[in-house]
Amino acid sequence: MPDPLVISIDAMGGDHGPSVVAPGVARAIALLDGRDVRFLLHGDEAELNAAVARLPALQGRVEIRPSERVVANDEKPARAMRRGKGTSMWNAIESVKTGEAHAAVSSGNTGALSAISILQLRMIGEMQRPALVASWPTLRGVTTVLDVGANIDCDAERLVQFAILGAAYHRAVHGSAHPTVGVLNVGSEEEKGHEEVKGANRLLRATQFDLQYHGFVEGDDIAKGTVDVIVTDGFTGNVALKTAEGLARFFSTEMRAAFTGSLLGMIGAFIAQGALRRMRERLDPGGGGPFLGLNGIVVKSHGGADARGFAAAIRLAVDLARSDFAAEIDRNLKRLTAAAEAGEAPTSEAGDAADEDKSGERSSA
């Protein structure tokens, strides 16, 4: 990626707008350790000039692009698309579309950001909606899980697309040279699961992609960190994510009650405060995540993110832009298309017959 790298920022998005975005950009510059990265800040000119003037680190590193309007946090995606032109969100994405910027970051309305990104950048291949990805803390580090809510119904080919997207993302962001991939299922045995996951399993085994396919994994494998990337449909992924978030809040509340319920507990909390802080940081969702599957890089930061969280989202955008992320996805999607055209992907009937043969072999044994 040529220098300077340019990141386009929707500076008016989220709960706090420039009051968090400007310090977030300054913090990102410090984290980027001298790398030549410039920023386009889209939003209210007067407000952004005032915010930038207060931060010496931004001088010479940012360019303010005036935007007339802002997409409201509660605005419906359809309305945001109709009246989107001229908003800070639209202009931030448009900079990526025209090639002026290498990636865009916004903490604005998630539905509107997704819709505007699809409208301007389009989807790769035959995907209809971007995949939402979660970086899941595990016993071995971090596991990439997708989709976690955007694509409710997924056929086998869509699940394989998620495997391709997830492996490229994990390699770019978490530095794994050979990411392992598993398909989430109700068991690890080949004959278990519905036809969509069995079809994805067959296709991943039959085609040579730039990833290491592990096979089926189960729900408890997510927290174990059995594989680097776990693929599932958006319905299952969202239920798993919300369950994990609920459990994290439950344990946090119980621990707080235990540590504040008595003098001895408070003394214990004081002694353990370093370990508790590290655990809280590990469970922190951080800077958000990208919309995977677009013809361009768009990172969604959390709406309520502080400067640290927004800086993390910027760093994620920089890591993706500087990686082989897009080229790797393109290579693997071409292999998937070639496999489908060549008829290498087993049909449902063939898969069912294979399952019956395996069942018969086990019975005979």
Per-residue pLDDT at 365: 35
Least confident window among 35-39, 64-68, 247-251: 247-251
Residue 37 confidence (pLDDT) above 80: yes
Residue 47 confidence (pLDDT) above 90: yes
The answer to whether domain 1-122+294-323 and domain 128-286+325-365 are alike in fold is yes
- Write down the domain spans for the chain: 1-122+294-323, 128-286+325-365
68/65 Cα distance (integer angstroms): 10
Torsion of CA 231, 302, 223, 322, to 10 degrees: 60
Per-residue pLDDT at 252: 73
169/291 Cα distance (integer angstroms): 11
Per-residue pLDDT at 53: 92
Assigned CATH class of 128-286+325-365: alpha beta
93 is written with which tokens? 């994405």
347 pLDDT band, cuts 50/70/90, is: very low
Predicted structure pTM score: 0.79
The beta strands (E) that lie in the chain are given as 5-10, 37-43, 62-66, 103-106, 131-138, 141-146, 180-184, 212-217, 229-231, 289-292, 298-300
Residue 52 confidence (pLDDT) above 90: yes
Q: What is the pLDDT of residues 13-36, one digit of tens each?
A: 888 899 999 999 999 999 887 778
Task: Report, as an integer, the average pLDDT of 144-159.
Answer: 87
304 pLDDT band, cuts 50/70/90, is: confident
Mean pLDDT across the chain, nearest whole number?
84
Residue 298 confidence (pLDDT) above 50: yes
> Is the domain covering 1-122+294-323 a CATH 3.30.565.10 domain?
no
Residue 50 confidence (pLDDT) above 60: yes
What is the percent of the chain with per-residue pLDDT over 90, rounded to a whole number?
40
Residue 318 confidence (pLDDT) above 50: yes
Per-residue pLDDT at 281: 58
Q: How many residues does the chain have?
A: 365
141 pLDDT band, cuts 50/70/90, is: confident
Residue 103 confidence (pLDDT) above 90: yes
